Amino acid sequence: METTCDILEVTKNARDVAEEMMSIRTGLHPVNVRGVVEDEVERAEDRFAIADFEVRELPDLEVEADGMLSSVFRNLLNNAVQHNDREEPIVEVSAEEREDTVVVSVADNGPGVPDDEKDQIFGKDEKGLESPGIGVGLYLAHTTTERYGGDVRVRDNEPEGAVFEVELRRAGSEDGSTER
């Protein structure tokens, strides 16, 4: 069963990479970030019964994105469980509303990311902790977020683990106007 799930995940990532490569910036439109995150958390709960997913208050905001936004959060949620060495992985999802952006955080209780690897983990073919994937999940999350005019970064979680932060431009904001 686990092998089947891994194959399906690799297939989804390959499809997402192909779609990302064919996408163009002008296809961006307002997307409800809360709806996308909640849908992906629900899917992750179905895929990873061993993990505990906790969702904090998420603002009901629209961001500049497209249909690929779900792959950003799917990959970060998968990463938080697949690279977690705990018996019961805990993943907390929260968001912070800012003036022109929203920052969605995916935090875990795993081993974290060593400081010397933080800048490299978003590269294509980067894998770690006996990854079952092909090393494109974080790369896809990074390139998709950049295409939206946003950013994805990683920092240490306290007392342990990693926090991946996705900063996205709010739809209609001065920097994120939907008029292209």
- The predicted pLDDT at position 174 comes to 61
Share in percent of the chain as helix, strand, coil (round to 5): 35, 25, 40
Poorest-confidence range of 15-29, 46-60, 67-81? 15-29
The answer to whether 16 and 68 are in contact (CB under 8 A) is: yes
User: What rounded mean pLDDT belongs to the chain?
Assistant: 84
User: What tens digit of pLDDT does each residue of 121-177 get?
Assistant: 988 654 444 444 445 789 999 999 999 999 999 999 999 999 999 999 999 876 544
For residues 102 and 105, give the distance between their C-alpha atoms in angstroms, rounded to a whole number: 10
CATH number of 2-169: 3.30.565.10
pTM of full prediction above 0.85: no
Domain boundaries, the chain: 2-169
User: What tens digit of pLDDT does each residue of 30-60 get?
Assistant: 999 999 999 999 999 999 999 999 999 899 9
